[in-house]
């Protein structure tokens, strides 16, 4: 959806806020990787930027979000850094809610955080994240490698998607 500047804008929300999102501060700062692993059941280790390749032949990898899948952002805080978020809910074809930790290097947990597909092809290759602290859409778009899981790769290949 082109905006006044010619760039894609997030889809409008029913309310002015980015959904029911909230921020929790854990006793100790959390990183996105252990949070995603603990809340998705996907047993991959290492930097967020390595998860997409590590998931090959272990977990289903796809380009569309599904509840329970891990969204893998690339180019977060530098070209080689990644970020992970667990998809909680599909709100519409271009809007999801995710749970994730350490967004913008805060160490906090962000729950039901809105994420919009702003890709020109409507294919979830580029997203914008709602900034819960500022109560507005973020100003930066992030490339997405894809979504991992939630089922093992062989189940997706065999057409036996688990519930």
Residue range 136-157: mean pLDDT, rounded: 84
| Cβ 128 vs Cβ 10: under 8 Å | yes
154 — pLDDT class (breaks 50, 70, 90): low
- Tell me the per-residue pLDDT of 36-76, one tens digit each, with 9 for 90 and over: 999 999 999 999 999 999 999 999 999 999 999 999 999 87
Dist. CA 121–CA 35, nearest whole Å? 30
107 — pLDDT class (breaks 50, 70, 90): very high
Dist. CA 76–CA 24, nearest whole Å? 21
Domain 22-152 top-level CATH class: alpha beta
This prediction's pTM: 0.84
Dist. CA 41–CA 66, nearest whole Å? 14
Residues with Cβ within 8 Å of 2's Cβ and at least 6 positions away in sequence, in order, are 8, 9
User: Is the sign of the CA dihedral 32, 35, 39, 44 positive or negative?
Assistant: positive
Per the prediction, the chain carries an average pLDDT of 85
Our CA angle for 95, 101, 105, nearest 5°, is 105
Query: Where along the chain do its domains lie?
Result: 22-152
| Residue 92 predicted with pLDDT over 70 | yes
| Cβ 43 vs Cβ 54: under 8 Å | no
- Tell me the per-residue pLDDT of 10-22, one tens digit each, with 9 for 90 and over: 555 444 456 689 9
| Residue 163 predicted with pLDDT over 70 | no
Residue range 80-89: mean pLDDT, rounded: 94
> How remote is the C-alpha of 13 from its chain's centroid?
18
Residue range 80-108: mean pLDDT, rounded: 95
| Cβ 63 vs Cβ 147: under 8 Å | yes
């Amino acid at each position: 959806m082109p905006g006044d500047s010619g760039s894609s804008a997030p889809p409008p929300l029913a309310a002015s806020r980015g959904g029911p999102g909230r921020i929790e501060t854990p006793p100790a700062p959390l990183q996105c990787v252990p949070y995603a692993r603990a809340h998705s059941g996907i047993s991959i280790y290492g930097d967020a930027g390595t998860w997409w390749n590590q998931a090959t032949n272990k977990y289903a990898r796809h380009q569309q979000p599904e509840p329970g899948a891990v969204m893998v952002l690339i180019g977060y805080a530098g070209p080689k850094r990644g970020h992970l978020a667990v998809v909680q809910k599909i709100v519409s074809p271009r809007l999801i809610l995710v749970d994730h930790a350490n967004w913008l290097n805060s160490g906090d947990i962000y729950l039901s955080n809105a994420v919009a597909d702003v890709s020109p092809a409507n294919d979830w290759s580029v997203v914008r994240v709602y900034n819960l602290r500022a109560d507005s859409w973020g100003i930066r778009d992030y490339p997405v490698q894809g979504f991992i899981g939630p089922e093992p790769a062989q189940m997706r290949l065999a057409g036996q998607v688990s519930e």
